[in-house]
Every structure is written in C-alpha cells, then in structure tokens.
C-alpha cells in the first residue's frame, strides 16, 4: 500500500497543495464521460440491458388476450410504470457518473500523481477532495482497458477513504460493483494519452 494522502478543503489553490520545490509536469481531465450522454463501463451495460428488457416487455403486449383477466389495458399501465422506472434509474446513473467525472482534475508533478474532486458534503457545502499518490518504484502501475480510452491505475487505498455518496469520492456507476469492497484502486479515468502519462510517472519514480 502506498503512503496515499486523502485531504479535504473548503477552498484551496494549487499552491496550497504543492510542496515547496514541487514541479507541475502535466494536468488533465477525463477524456470521456464528462457529458451526460457519454455512458461508460458498467453503466453502459445497464443501459443496454434496460433497453433490451423494455423492448422485450412491450413486445409481449401483442400476445395478451384482450378478453383475459389481465388484459392489454392493465398491461400498458404496468409496462409504462416499469419503463419509467428503468428510465429513471438510467437517468440517475448517468447523472451520478457525469457529476463525478465533470468535477475531476488530474495532476502529475515530479513527486506525485494527484486527483482533485470537487463535490458537496452532507451539508451541501462545496468541498475539495484531494487524493495524493507519491511516485513509487515498486507500485504496479498499469493501464486498465476501458472504452473509448484506457484508464491509468496510480494507487491503491482503503475503501473507508472513499466518502460516497455525499459529494466526495472517486467511484462512479461506470466502475465495477466490486471495485471498492476492501481496497479501492485510484485511477486517472479515460485518458487519451494514458501511455504517455504512465511513462512520465514511471520515469520520475525511477529518478528518485
């Protein structure tokens, strides 16, 4: 486990985060998923499954006998309610993913990989959630296959340091359901230049 620091601020400038003599090498944001309709990962799978379920459900309407105890009118009401439920869940997942990814900023310095996450706490106050991962010669950095761009694993922390769903945290509906059971990997999500960023981190780790 790395010596990862998780900090919260009401208001902070970049100079408040960087240490004396620390140099900023790169900054970026997720290259996909920041818009409402840009579904990713497990969220995309749910939308596809929900759409397929809705289509199959409504296709059975033509097989219901109009004179049966459960007739087409009742089926339309039930199918309509189920459709609205699926659409509501899909909209919630898309909104949650959009909110998380839209409020992320990634930094790489000559010492650390840093994630800034802005969100609201349970009092609805805006807070800045900062996860700082020091460069390490021994940490198994890796590229994680994801669409349309890979994600870069930069660290691992205990799941108790994830403060979802009250505004802070890094998880979103596009991630695996099992990702944060005990430990949680820290990633730069959906980076078009993920390989270059990985090389930058590793080169600075080896130069320490």
CA dist., res. 88 & res. 205, Å (int): 45
Q: Using CA atoms in the order 114, 197, 103, 138, what is the torsion angle rounded to 10 degrees? A: -40
Q: Using CA atoms in the order 150, 153, 158, 164, what is the torsion angle rounded to 10 degrees? A: -30
Q: 10 Å Cβ neighbour count for 163?
A: 19
pLDDT in tens, 106-134: 999 999 999 998 877 666 677 788 889 99
Q: Which residues of 69-91 are buried (b: 16+ CB within 10 A; e: fewer)?
A: eeeeeebeeebeeeeeebeeebe
pTM of the model: 0.83
What share of the chain in percent tops pLDDT 70?
Answer: 87
Q: 10 Å Cβ neighbour count for 10?
A: 9
pLDDT in tens, 131-176: 899 999 989 999 999 989 999 999 887 655 555 544 456 788 888 7
The residue written with tokens 């950095």 in the block is 141
């Amino acid at each position: 486990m790395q010596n990862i620091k998780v900090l919260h601020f009401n208001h902070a400038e970049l100079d408040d985060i960087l240490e004396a003599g620390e140099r900023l090498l790169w900054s970026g944001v997720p290259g996909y998923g920041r818009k409402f309709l840009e579904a990713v990962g497990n969220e995309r799978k749910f939308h596809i499954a929900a759409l397929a379920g809705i289509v199959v459900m409504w296709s059975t309407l033509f097989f219901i006998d109009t004179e049966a105890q459960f007739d087409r009118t009742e089926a339309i009401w039930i199918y309509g309610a189920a459709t609205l439920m699926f659409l509501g869940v899909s909209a919630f997942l898309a909104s949650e993913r959009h909110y998380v990814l839209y409020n992320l900023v990634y930094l790489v310095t000559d010492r650390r990989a840093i994630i800034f996450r802005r969100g609201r706490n349970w009092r609805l106050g805006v807070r800045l959630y900062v996860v700082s991962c020091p460069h390490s010669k021994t940490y198994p950095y890796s590229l994680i296959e994801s669409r349309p761009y890979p994600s870069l694993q930069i660290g691992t922390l205990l799941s108790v340091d994830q403060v979802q769903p009250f505004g802070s945290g890094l998880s979103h509906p596009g991630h695996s359901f099992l990702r944060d059971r005990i430990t949680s990997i820290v990633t730069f999500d959906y980076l078009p230049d993920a390989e270059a960023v990985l090389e930058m981190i590793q080169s600075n780790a080896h130069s320490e």
